[in-house]
Amino acid sequence: MHQAAVDLFTPIHAGLIAELENSTLVDIDRGAAHGLLFIATFDGAQIGLDRPELSPAGWAGPFTVVSEAVITVTMSNPNRGYRGRKHSLWYCDAHREGEFGWYELAFMDSAFRQGRPPVEPNALSAHEAREVFTPVIGTRQLAWPVEELDLDDLGEFVDRWIGWFASAVVGQLQHPMMMPEKTTEGTWRRKG
């Protein structure tokens, strides 16, 4: 199943690269180290996409997670301490049991935490995010709903991330006005 996930990840990777290649000013490193498929840089801002990895053992959530990746946008000069955002991309069956696809989701620390982290929302592995999907209130929660990516129409996903990258380039990427940014309740299936 992991190989199927890797194969189905190609349109996500290709859609972002195609859009980034439209600008001759963006430097794209396709041989990026540390498990990245690419990292693109322009005027100190960066957008990067991880290579999908097999999800580590230990996830006991309400749905099955097979593979994981991360997408990131950061600024070189923080805007009031804010540097950027990361989202998780999980190949899982979050909506319907046995129906796998790539899903985008992101996390935040509890509102009781003092101060804002420099990168938020943030990405977590399924293992790190276990508490988010339990009925017990923990220190982490969803900041972005569990949304399936439509691999036949990635326009909204690509445009949104390229837009955040463009904002980072001009130093105007801002911490979300509210978190979670969208309703997260009921965006994944429960066990049983």
For the chain, which residues make up each domain, given as ranges?
A: 2-169
Looking at the DSSP bridge assignments, the partners of residue 72 are 48, 86
Whether the Cβ atoms of residue 146 and residue 75 lie closer than 8 Å to each other = no
Q: What are phi and psi of 156, to 5 degrees?
A: -65, -45
Banded pLDDT at 116 (limits 50, 70, 90) = low
The H-or-E segment that residue 13 falls in is helix 2-20
Q: Which of 43, 50, 29 is nearest to 168 (CA)?
A: 43
- How much is the pLDDT for 115? 61
Which element (helix H / strand E) includes 28?
A: strand 27-29
How deeply is 137 buried, as exposed, middle or buried, from its count of CB atoms within 10 A (0-12, 13-18, 19+)? exposed
Q: What percent of the chain has pLDDT over 70?
A: 95
- Residue 137 near residue 114 (C-beta atoms within 8 A): no
Query: Is the pLDDT confidence value at 192 over 60?
Result: no
Q: In this predicted model, what pLDDT tens digit does every residue of 153-162 receive, in sequence order?
A: 999 999 999 9
The tokens describing 114, both together, are 């003092």
Confidence of residue 77 (pLDDT cuts 50, 70, 90): confident
Over the stretch 26-76, which tens digit does the pLDDT of each residue have?
Answer: 999 987 677 788 999 999 999 999 999 999 877 788 999 999 999 999 998
Using an 8 Å Cβ cutoff, are 119 and 86 in contact? yes
Helix (H, G, I), strand (E, B) or coil at 18: helix
